[in-house]
Amino acid sequence: MKTKYTYPAIFEKEEKGYFVNFPDIHPCYTEGSTLEEAAVMAKDVLESRIEVALEQGETLPIPSDMDTLKGDRIMLVVADVENIKSQTRFVKKTLSIPYWLNVAAEKEHINFSGVLQEALKERLAVID
């Protein structure tokens, strides 16, 4: 399965930075206060949009020829979908809790994985 996709992005200079649009992928746009930030954001939004498209069984369009596009700056952006999947894949962990706590949690139909994820994010100050 293909894991890397390259699409041209149009970077338009604005008053407060750069607006980025992918003419072949809809909707797919972002912005950044600097050109470097806009390029990083462009890769992120392209990877996310392609991942969703593939999960939903969409056919990805053929990238436009860069010579046919108009804009302040046109750059190719490479999306590495495998990179995203490796960051979002789940890892099975084995842990132990007191019996009484297990019984009480099961009685309340608590999702152990969800609670552990929430607690770890809170402890690590991770924002979704």
Axis-axis angle for helices 81-88, 35-55 (nearest 10): 80
Tokens 């929430």, located at residue = 118
Give the domain ranges of the chain.
4-88, 90-128
CA distance 71 to 38: 15
CATH 3.30.160.250 fits 4-88, yes or no: yes
What backbone torsions phi and psi does residue 64 show, to the nearest 5 degrees? -70, 155
Q: What is the pLDDT of residue 86?
A: 59
Q: What is the pLDDT of residue 1?
A: 64
End-to-end CA distance of the chain: 29
Q: What is the pLDDT of residue 125?
A: 80
Q: What is the pLDDT of residue 11?
A: 96
The answer, as to whether pTM is greater than 0.75, is no
Q: Which residues, given as ranges, of the chain have pLDDT below 70?
A: 1, 83-92, 126-128
- Give the number of other CB atoms < 10 A from CB of residue 50: 23
